[in-house]
Structure 1
Amino acid sequence: MTINTAYGLNMDLIEKKFAWKKEQAQGREESLFAVFEQNLSEQEKQLLQFLYAYMPLHDLADYEGAFFLQHIREVLQVQADMPWGSHIPDEIFVNYVLPYRVNNENIDHSRSVIYEELAERVRHLSMADAILETNYWCHERATYIGTDIRTVSPITIMRTALGRCGEQSTLTVTALRSIGIPARQCYTPRWAHCDSNHAWVEAWADGKWHFLGACEPEPVLDEGWFRLPAKRAMLVHTRVFADYNGPEEVTTTHPWYTEINLLAHYAAVKPIHIYTIDEAGNPVVAEVQFQLYNSAEFYPLTSLMTDDQGRASLTTGYGDLFIHAYTSSLWGTAFINTNTSSELTLVLKSHNTPAYAEHNTTHTNPNILIEEWKMTPPVAPIIDSGVKVDESTAHEHMQRIKAGTAIRTAFEQTFIDHTQAGQYAEEWQLPRHRVWNILQTAKGNGEEIAAFLSECTLAERELGLRVLESLRPKDLTDTFRSVLHDHVEGVISLDEASHIYSSDWDQYVLCPRIHFEMLTPYRKYFANQWDTEQQQAFRSNPMQLAAVLEQEITVNNDIDRYTGMATPAAAHQLGVTDSVSRDIVFVAAARSLGIAARLEPLNAIPQYQLQGTWHSVLWKQDQSTREDTVLAPTNGQIQFVRATDASEVIAEYQHNFTVAIFENGIYRTLDIPYGEKEVYQQPYDVLAGDYRLTTGTRLEDGSVLGTFAYFKVQPEQQIEVELLFRTEQQQIPVLLDTLPESLQQYMYSLQPEDDNKDQKEGSILAWLEPEREPTKHLLRELAELRAELELWEGHIQLSIADEQEYGAVILDPLPSQSQVAIDPQYQLLDQWSECLPSLGGDQLPVVIVVDAQHKVRYCLQGYKLGTGKELLRIVNGMNAETHQAKS
C-alpha cells in the first residue's frame, strides 16, 4: 500500500478510482486532465487525484481541471497563512477543509472571494472565536427564506442575502473552510415530531467538533434554537466525499462517498438490529431503508445493506421507524418502536405479490387494503436555557445582531427599486408591472438581468422577457446574461416551419428550465450537433432523437448521490451521466430544435409533444433493467374520493396525504404539486401498477395517526380511492384558569376601544425573534392561513424585543387582526412565565392562546412546524365552545 506521509492518503486506492474516473471522462479529457501535464508538486498531484477520485460525474461534466488545480493551490496557501493551519490533523484537513463542495450546491469561486473579506477579520483570534466571528459575518450576508430544492452557490446567497437552511449551512461551511477551519454540514434528513427537516454546521476547533446555527450567531459555541428539537431526531448525519475511516458510525458506505452518524452528539440513542429472511426462513442480503413519516410520506433517513446473515444495525433515537427492505426480487415492511424493541426480523416476499393480495379486506373494493398505524416520535425534552453567558456578553451579542441586520438591510437597499424598474421598462418599451416583478425577484442579480434586457434588440426584448417569466424565482437570482442570450437567440434562429405546435409553447419550448439543474447555455450547442436534414427528421419523429442520444450517452446511476444535477450540454459532451440527467439532455435537445418536450409532472418521464399529444420516451437501457416486458408505459387513472366522515378535513398533497407507485421493490412518491388541494376535481393520469396511498394526521405531541391504502391501477381503467383521514378527539385544555389582574388588564388593552367586550373571542399572543428561522416559519404559516384566521374575530399580538425589528414583521400578508408590539427584553413574557409552569428557558417563539374568559388554552415554546394549523384548531374549538354555551 502506498501512503502519502503528508496526508495519510491510500494512494493505491485513490489511483485506481482516479483511473476509473478518467476512463469515464474521455469525452472531456483535455478540459479535465491537461492540468496534470503542468509542473505540479507531488503534493498537488496527489490531492488533485484525490479530488478526481471521489468527484461526482456531474462535476466531471461541468467544470474544468484548471478550476480544481487553482482550488488546491488556494487551499494550501490558506493552510500556510492562517495560524491554525499547521495544527489540523491530516485526516481532518483532507475531509473537511480540502473539499471544494459541501453538498449539492452549484460550484463557484466563493472560497477565494470569502477569504478576501474574512481572513483579516479572524486571523488574530483563537479557532473557537474565529468560528463565532465567521458566523457573525454570515449573518451579515444572509437570512432565512424557504425556497425550492435546488441549492444555489454561496456567492448567490451573498448576492441575494437569502437562503434556506441547506443553503445557509453551505455558505457557513464554505466560509469556515475558506479560512482553513474544518467544517461540515450536518442535518436531520427529516424531523420525527413535525414535518420538514433542518441543516446546521459543525466546526472543528482544537481537537473537538462544535455545533452552530448557520447565519444565526450565538455568543458561544454548541448553542442554537435547534438544540432542543434535535433531541427528538432519529438521525443526524453528514456526508464525506471519500472512503472515510473516522471515529463516527458509518450509516452509508458507498464507493464514492460516506455518510456518518452524528446523532449521539445531540440526543439519547440506542442501537437497533434488523434481520431480513425469505419465506423459508433463510437469511437474505437486502437493502434496508430506515424510514420516517414526514410530509405525508415515508422518507428513508438512511439505507444499509444487510450482511450475509441478513443483519443491518443502526444507532437511532427513541421513537418509531418504518423499516422497508428489498432485493431485486423480494421486499417487506414493518414498523419498529425503538422504545420497546431493539430487533426486528422482516420476512421478504416476492415483488409480484401485491400488498393487498394476502389480506382479507372489508373495503367495498376487494382490491383495496386499508391498514391503520400510528407513529410516535421521541418525547419532547424539558425546556432549558442552554449555555449561560454573562450580561455583558449577552448585551454585546445583541448589539452585534442588530449591527449585522443593519449591514444586510443596507445591502438589500442597493437592489433595483420600483422607480428604477419603471425607468427601465419605459426605456425598453415593456410593461412596467412585468419588468418590476422580474427585477425585484432577481434581488442582487437584478443588474445582470437588466443588462441582458438592455442588450436585447427591440425585436428580441419581448421574447427575452417571456424567457425570464418562464423561469422559477430562484433562477432569476443566479442566471447570467450569456445564458439568457443563448436561449433567446436559439429560439429566434429556429426556422419558422420548425415550430411544432404546442398549446404551452413558452413552457415546453421557450423555457430553459427543465428540472433542478443549474441553468446554462445549451441551445446553440445542440443546434450544432446535427445537420438540417437530421434535425427535420427529429422533429418529424422525436424518438429518432432519443435513439441517437441513447447511442451517445452511457447511463451510470451508481456514482452520484444526487441525480439530475449535470447540465445538458456538459452531460452530452462527457457522454456518461445518470438516468435523470440523460432525460434532461433529451428535453434540452428537443427544445433546442423547436420540439415541445418536458419531464412528465407525476413521474418525471421524458416526453415530447407531437400533433398536440404527449408521448413518453422509452429508453432501451431502462427496459433492460425492468422486471416486466412491457414495451411502452401504460396509463390508468386515480380518482380521489372524499370520505363521508372526513368532510371537515382539507386534503393537501404532501401535507396530509401522498400516493406512491411500487417500482423495483420500493415505493416512489408521485410528484403531484406540493400543497395541491383541488384533488377531488378530476382524475389523475398515472402509470398502471401497484400503489400505496398514505394519509396522516399530525397530533399536538408530534405523533401521527395514519392509514395505508394499497391498490392496483389497471391499464386504461380508473380506480376510485377514498382519502381516509383518522382523527382523534383533542380537547382544548385549560392550562390556567385565572390570569393575574395585571395580565387581565393587559388582555383588555389589546382590544380596540369600540369593541364589545362580550363579543371578544380571545387572543393569540406570540413573542418572536424575527431574525431566527423558527419565527419566520411561524409568520409564514400565519400568512398561509390568513383567510381561515380572519373568520375568527379574536386578536393576534406579535411581540418583539426592539423597535429596530419592526421591519422584519411585515403585516400585509398576515391576518388583518394582527398587530406588532414592543416587549423590551421580553419583560411581559417573564410575567407570563411566572404563571405558566410549562414555560422555561429562552427558547422562542412563545405562543399563547387566551379565550374570552381569560383562560389560557394553549402554550407552545420553541420550534414546531405546523403551529399555524394547531392555532386554527384551537380558535375554532373555542368558537364551538362559545356557540354551544350560547345555545
Structure 2
Amino acid sequence: MTVNTAYGLNMDVIEEKFAWKKEQAQGREESLFAVFEQDLSEQEKQLLQFLYAYMPLHDLADYDGAFFLNHIRQVLQVQADMPWGARIPDEIFVNYVLPYRVNNENIDHSRSVIYEELAERVQHLSMTDAILETNYWCHERATYIGTDIRTVSPLTIMRTALGRCGEQSTLTVTALRSIGIPARQCYTPRWAHCDSNHAWVEAWADGEWHFLGACEPEPVLDEGWFRLPAKRAMLVHTRVFADYNGPEEVTTTHPWYTEINLLAHYADVKTIHIHVTDEAGKPVVAEVQFQLYNSAEFYPLTSLMTDDQGHASLTTGYGDLFIHAYTSSVWGTAFLNTNTSSELTLVLKRYNIPVYAEHTTTNTSPTVVREEWKMTPPVAPVIDSGAKVDESTAHQHIQRIKAGTAIRTAFEHTFIDQEQARQYAEEWQLPTDRLWNILQTAKGNGEEIAAFLGECTLAELALGLRLLESLRPKDLTDTFRPVLHDHLQGVISLDEASHIYSSDWDQYVLCPRVHFEMLTPYRNYFADQWNTEQQHAFRSDPMLLATVLEQEIAVNNHIDRYTGMATPAAAHQLGVTDSVSRDIAFVAAARSLGIAARLEPLNAIPQYQLQGTWHSVQWKQEQSTFVEDSVLASATGQIQFVRASDDVEVVAEYQHNFTVAIFENGIYRTLDIPYGEKEVYQQPYNVLAGNYRLTTGTRLEDGSVLGTFTYFNVQPDQQIEVELVFRTEQQQIPVLLETLPEPLQHHIYSLQPNDEKEDRKEGYILAWLEPEREPTKHLLRELAELRAELEIWAGDIHLLIADEQEYGAVILDPLPAQSQIAIDSNYQFLEQWSDCLTSLGGDQLPVVIVVDTQHRVRYCLQGYKLGTGKELLRIVNGMNIDIHQEKN
C-alpha cells in the first residue's frame, strides 16, 4: 500500500479510482485533466487526485480542472495562515476542510469570498470562539425561509439573505471551512415525531466535535432549538466524500462516498439486527431500507446491504421503523418496534401481497388489501434549559443578534424597490405589476435581472419577460445574463415551423427549467450538434432524438448520491451521467429544437409532445427485473380517489396525510402529485399500469401515527376508484390548569386593544416567538395557511415578542385577522407562566398556550413541533364543542 506521509492517503486506492474516473470523463479530458501538466507539487497532485477519485459524475461534467486546483491551493494557504491549521489531524483535514462541496449545492467561489470577509474577524480567536463568531457572521448574511429542494450555492444565500435549513447549514459549513476549521453538515433525514427534517452543523475544535444551529447563533456551542427534538431522532448522519476510517459508525459504505451515523451524539441509542432469508430459511444478500413514516410516506433513513449471512445492523433510536428488504427478484417488509425488539427476521418472497392474485373484472371495484398499523416515535424528552450562561454573556448575545439582524435588514434595503421597478416598466413599456413581481422575487439578484432586460431590444422585451416568468422563484436569485440571453436567443432563432405559440409553449419550450438542475446555457450548444435536416427529422419524430442521445450518453446510476444534478449540455459533453440527468438532457435538447418536452409530473418520465399528444420516451437499456411492476412501461390507467363512506370530514392533503406509490424494482416509489394538493376527489389521475400502495396516516398529538396501507392494481386503460380511508382517534382536550391566577388573567386582558376591552367568546391563543428562528417561522407559516379556518373561531391570537425591533419580522397580513403583536419585554410575562405550568421547565421557544373562556389552560407547547397549527385548530374547535355542551 502506498501511503502519502503528509495526509495518510491510501494512494493505491486513490490512483485506481482516479484512473476509472478519468476513463469515464474522456469527453472532457482537456478541460479536466490538462491541469496535471502544470508544475504541481507532489502534495497538490495527490490532493487533486483525491478530489477526482471521489468526485460525483456531475462535477466532472460541470467544472474544470483549474477550479479544483485553485481550490486546493487556497485551502493549503489558509491552513498555513490560520493559527489552528497545524493542529488539525490529517484525516480530519482531508475529510472536513479540503472538500469543495458540502452536500448537493451548486458550487461557486464562495470559500475565497467568505475568507476575505471573515478571516480578520477570527484570526486572533480560539477555535471555539472562532466557530461562534463565524455563526454570528452567518446570521448577518442569512435567515430561514422554506423553499424548493434545489440547494443553492453559499453566494446565492448571501445574495438573497434567505435559505432553508439545508442551505443555511451549507453556508455555515462553507464559512467554517473557508477559515480552515473542520466542519460537517448533519441531517436527521426525517423526524419521527413530526413531518419534516432538519440540518445543522458540527464543527471541530481542539479535538472535539460540537454542534450549532446554522445561521442561528448561541452564546455557547452545543446549543440550539433542535437539541431536544434531536433526542427523538431515529438517525442523524453526515456524508464524507471518501472511504472513511474514522471512529463513528458507518451506515452506508459506497465506493464513492460514506454516510456515518452521529445519532449517539444526540439521543439514546440501541443496535438492531435484521436477518434476511428466503422461504427455505437460507440467508439472502439483499438491500435493507430502514424506513420511517414522514409526510405520509415511508422514507428510507438509510439503506444497508446484508452480509453473506443475510445480516445487517443499525444503531438507531427507541421508536418504530418499517423494514423493507429486496433483491432483483424477491422482497419483504415488516414493522419493528425498537423499544421491545432488537432483532427481526424478514422472509423475502416473490409474491408478497394478495393483490398480485386475480383482479376483479369491474373497472371501478379493484381487488384491494388493507393493512392497519401504528407508528410510535421515541418519547418526548424532559424539557430543560440547556447550558447556562452568565447574565453578561446572555446580554451581549442578545445585542449581537439584534446587530446581526440590523446588518442583514440594511442589506435587504439595497434590493430594487417598487418605485425602481415602476421606472423600469415605464422605460421598457412592460406591465408594472408583472415586472415588480419578478424583480421583487429576485431579491439581491434583481439588478442582474434588470440588466438582462435592459440589454434586450424593444422587440425582445415582451418575450424576455415571459422567459423570466417561466422560471421558478429560486431561479431568479441565481441565474445570470449569459444564461438568460442563451435561452432567449435560442427560442428566437427557431425557424417558423417550430416557433409555435400555444398555451404550453412557455412552459414546455421557452422555459429552460426541466427539473432541479442548475440553470446553464444549453440551447445554442444543442442547436449546434445537429444539422438542419437532422433537426427537422427530430421534430417530425422526437424518438429519433432520444435514440441519438441514448447512443451518445451512457448511464451509470451507481456513482452519484444525488441524481439529476448534471446540467444538460455538460452531461452530453461528458458522455456519461445518471438516468435522471440523461432524461433532463433529452428534455433540454428537445426544447432547444422547438419540441415541447417535459418530465411527466407524477413519475418524472421524459415526454415529448407530438400533434398535441404527450408521448413517453422508451429507453431500450432500462427494463424492469420485476415483471409485475407494469404490463408495459408505456401502458397507463387512471386512479380516481373517492371519499370513504365513514369519513369524518378529514381533509385529504397530499404528503400531509396520504400518498400513493407504485411498485418498481422491488420498492415503492411515491408519485409526484403536487405537495399539499387538496382537490383530490375532483379528477382522475393518469398513472402507469402497475401495482400500487396507498398510504394514509393521522398524526396524533404525541407524534405517533395511525395509518393504513391500501394495496391495489391498475390495469392498462382501466380507471379504478380507491377510497381514502383515514383512521382517527378521539382525542380529549385536557384541562392543564383549572384556574389561571388573577395576575395572568389580568395580563391577557391588558393585551386587548383599547377598543376591544372585553373577553371574546371563545378564548385565546398566546404564542411567544423568536422571529429570527426557524421554529417560529414554521409556526407563522402554519397559522397563515390556516387563516380561513382560524378566522371562523371567535378567539384572539396574541403573538408576543421580546423587543420592538422584532416587529418587522412578523408580518400580520397573511395571518388570521384576529392576530395581534404584543411586547413581552425579556419574556417577563412568560416567566410567570413557568410558575404555574410544569411543562415550561426550559427556555425552548416558541411557547404556545391556549386559554378558554373560563380561563382554563387547554393546551401548552414548548419548542419545535411541525404541525402545531393544525393542533391549535383542533383545540379551539374542540373548545367550541365544550362550550356548546356546557350550555346545553
Instruction: Compute the TM-score of the two structures, normalised by the length of structure 1.
Output: 0.98
Q: What does residue range 475-490 of structure 1 map to in structure 2 within 5 Å?
A: 475-490=475-490
* Residue 348 (structure 1) aligned with residue 309 (structure 2): no
* Aligned residues of 1:499 and 1:595 also touching (Cα < 8 A): no
Give the superposition deviation at 1:840.
Answer: 1.1
Unaligned runs of 5+ in 1: none
Q: What do the CA deviations read for 1:822-842 (whole angstroms, capped 9, x no partner)?
A: 001101001111111111111
Q: Distance in 2 between the 1:727 and 1:624 partners?
A: 38
**3-state DSSP class of the match of 2:226?**
helix
Q: 1:631 to 1:731 in 2, by over 3 A?
A: closer
**Who is 2:586 aligned against?**
586
Q: What do the CA deviations read for 1:21-66 (whole angstroms, capped 9, x no partner)?
A: 0000000000000000000000000000000000000000000000
**Who is 2:884 aligned against?**
883
* Residue 697 (structure 1) aligned with residue 722 (structure 2): no
**Who is 1:815 aligned against?**
816
* Aligned residues of 2:227 and 2:266 also touching (Cα < 8 A): yes
**Who is 1:3 aligned against?**
3
Q: Distance in 1 between the 2:878 and 2:816 partners?
A: 18
Q: Distance in 1 between the 2:121 and 2:499 partners?
A: 57
**3-state DSSP class of the match of 1:396?**
helix
Equivalent position amino acid for 1:248 in 2: E
Q: 1:624 to 1:192 in 2, by over 3 A?
A: closer
**Who is 1:800 aligned against?**
801
Give the superposition deviation at 1:353.
Answer: 4.5
* Aligned residues of 1:523 and 1:589 also touching (Cα < 8 A): yes
Q: Distance in 1 between the 2:311 and 2:419 partners?
A: 66
Q: Distance in 2 between the 1:261 and 1:217 partners?
A: 25
* Aligned residues of 1:442 and 1:476 also touching (Cα < 8 A): yes
Equivalent position amino acid for 1:594 in 2: G
Give the superposition deviation at 1:693.
Answer: 0.2
Give the superposition deviation at 1:271.
Answer: 0.2
Equivalent position amino acid for 2:700 in 1: L
Q: What does residue range 449-468 of structure 1 map to in structure 2 within 5 Å?
A: 449-468=449-468
Q: What do the CA deviations read for 1:467-491 (whole angstroms, capped 9, x no partner)?
A: 1000100000000011000000000
Q: Distance in 2 between the 1:59 and 1:754 partners?
A: 62
**3-state DSSP class of the match of 1:9?**
coil
Q: Distance in 1 between the 2:734 and 2:173 partners?
A: 44
Q: 1:365 to 1:46 in 2, by over 3 A?
A: same
Equivalent position amino acid for 1:263 in 2: L
Report the count of equivalent residues. Answer: 885
Q: Distance in 1 between the 2:558 and 2:620 partners?
A: 18
* Aligned residues of 1:26 and 1:574 also touching (Cα < 8 A): yes
Give the superposition deviation at 1:500.
Answer: 5.3
**Who is 1:369 aligned against?**
369
Q: Distance in 1 between the 2:647 and 2:766 partners?
A: 31
Give the superposition deviation at 1:241.
Answer: 0.1
**3-state DSSP class of the match of 2:840?**
coil
**3-state DSSP class of the match of 2:798?**
strand
Q: 1:685 to 1:793 in 2, by over 3 A?
A: same
* Aligned residues of 1:502 and 1:609 also touching (Cα < 8 A): no
* Aligned residues of 2:844 and 2:863 also touching (Cα < 8 A): yes
**Who is 1:763 aligned against?**
764
Q: 1:500 to 1:347 in 2, by over 3 A?
A: farther
Q: Distance in 1 between the 2:432 and 2:512 partners?
A: 24
Q: Distance in 2 between the 1:723 and 1:489 partners?
A: 48
* Aligned residues of 1:359 and 1:369 also touching (Cα < 8 A): no
* Residue 652 (structure 1) aligned with residue 675 (structure 2): no
**Who is 2:99 aligned against?**
99
**3-state DSSP class of the match of 1:835?**
coil
Q: 1:105 to 1:838 in 2, by over 3 A?
A: same
* Aligned residues of 1:762 and 1:794 also touching (Cα < 8 A): yes
Give the superposition deviation at 1:497.
Answer: 1.4
Q: Distance in 2 between the 1:162 and 1:646 partners?
A: 41
Equivalent position amino acid for 1:507 in 2: Q
* Aligned residues of 1:500 and 1:539 also touching (Cα < 8 A): no
**Who is 1:611 aligned against?**
611
Give the superposition deviation at 1:612.
Answer: 0.4
Equivalent position amino acid for 1:233 in 2: A
* Residue 189 (structure 1) aligned with residue 189 (structure 2): yes
* Aligned residues of 2:332 and 2:352 also touching (Cα < 8 A): no
**3-state DSSP class of the match of 1:458?**
coil
* Aligned residues of 2:366 and 2:713 also touching (Cα < 8 A): no
**3-state DSSP class of the match of 1:813?**
coil
Give the superposition deviation at 1:743.
Answer: 1.2
**Who is 1:672 aligned against?**
673
Q: What does residue range 622-661 of structure 1 map to in structure 2 within 5 Å?
A: 622-623=622-623, 627=627, 632-661=633-662
Q: 1:20 to 1:409 in 2, by over 3 A?
A: same
Q: 1:359 to 1:704 in 2, by over 3 A?
A: farther
* Residue 849 (structure 1) aligned with residue 850 (structure 2): yes
**3-state DSSP class of the match of 2:622?**
helix
**3-state DSSP class of the match of 1:302?**
strand
* Aligned residues of 1:191 and 1:197 also touching (Cα < 8 A): yes
Give the superposition deviation at 1:623.
Answer: 2.8
Q: What do the CA deviations read for 1:103-125 (whole angstroms, capped 9, x no partner)?
A: 00000000000000000100000
Give the superposition deviation at 1:8.
Answer: 0.2
* Residue 600 (structure 1) aligned with residue 600 (structure 2): yes
**Who is 1:731 aligned against?**
732
Q: What does residue range 74-89 of structure 1 map to in structure 2 within 5 Å?
A: 74-89=74-89
Q: Distance in 2 between the 1:789 and 1:572 partners?
A: 52
Give the superposition deviation at 1:757.
Answer: 4.9
Give the superposition deviation at 1:367.
Answer: 1.5
* Aligned residues of 1:750 and 1:795 also touching (Cα < 8 A): no
Q: What does residue range 377-388 of structure 1 map to in structure 2 within 5 Å?
A: 377-388=377-388
Q: Distance in 2 between the 1:631 and 1:323 partners?
A: 29
* Aligned residues of 1:322 and 1:336 also touching (Cα < 8 A): yes
* Aligned residues of 1:273 and 1:311 also touching (Cα < 8 A): yes
Unaligned runs of 5+ in 2: none
Q: Distance in 1 between the 2:637 and 2:680 partners?
A: 16
* Aligned residues of 1:502 and 1:596 also touching (Cα < 8 A): no
**Who is 2:867 aligned against?**
866
**Who is 1:513 aligned against?**
513
* Aligned residues of 1:498 and 1:536 also touching (Cα < 8 A): no
Q: Distance in 1 between the 2:282 and 2:755 partners?
A: 77
* Aligned residues of 2:305 and 2:312 also touching (Cα < 8 A): yes
Give the superposition deviation at 1:881.
Answer: 1.5
Q: Distance in 2 between the 1:360 and 1:320 partners?
A: 33
Q: What do the CA deviations read for 1:386-431 (whole angstroms, capped 9, x no partner)?
A: 0000000000000000000000000000000000111111111100
Q: Distance in 1 between the 2:270 and 2:624 partners?
A: 42
Give the superposition deviation at 1:498.
Answer: 1.9
Give the superposition deviation at 1:754.
Answer: 5.8
Instruction: Compute the TM-score of the two structures, normalised by the length of structure 2.
Output: 0.98
**Who is 1:782 aligned against?**
783
Identical columns (%):
87
**Who is 2:469 aligned against?**
469
**3-state DSSP class of the match of 1:18?**
helix
Q: Distance in 1 between the 2:352 and 2:228 partners?
A: 43
Give the superposition deviation at 1:882.
Answer: 1.4
**Who is 2:713 aligned against?**
712
Give the superposition deviation at 1:744.
Answer: 1.5
Give the superposition deviation at 1:621.
Answer: 1.1
Give the superposition deviation at 1:644.
Answer: 1.9
Q: Distance in 2 between the 1:613 and 1:859 partners?
A: 55
**3-state DSSP class of the match of 1:598?**
strand
Q: 1:584 to 1:404 in 2, by over 3 A?
A: same
Give the superposition deviation at 1:454.
Answer: 0.2
Equivalent position amino acid for 1:819 in 2: Q
**3-state DSSP class of the match of 2:497?**
helix
Q: Distance in 1 between the 2:65 and 2:704 partners?
A: 50
**Who is 1:294 aligned against?**
294
Q: 1:60 to 1:678 in 2, by over 3 A?
A: same
**3-state DSSP class of the match of 2:414?**
coil
Equivalent position amino acid for 1:96 in 2: Y
Q: Distance in 1 between the 2:50 and 2:644 partners?
A: 57
Q: Distance in 2 between the 1:394 and 1:747 partners?
A: 28
Q: What do the CA deviations read for 1:547-606 (whole angstroms, capped 9, x no partner)?
A: 000110000000000000000000000000000000000000000000000000000000
Q: Distance in 1 between the 2:17 and 2:749 partners?
A: 72
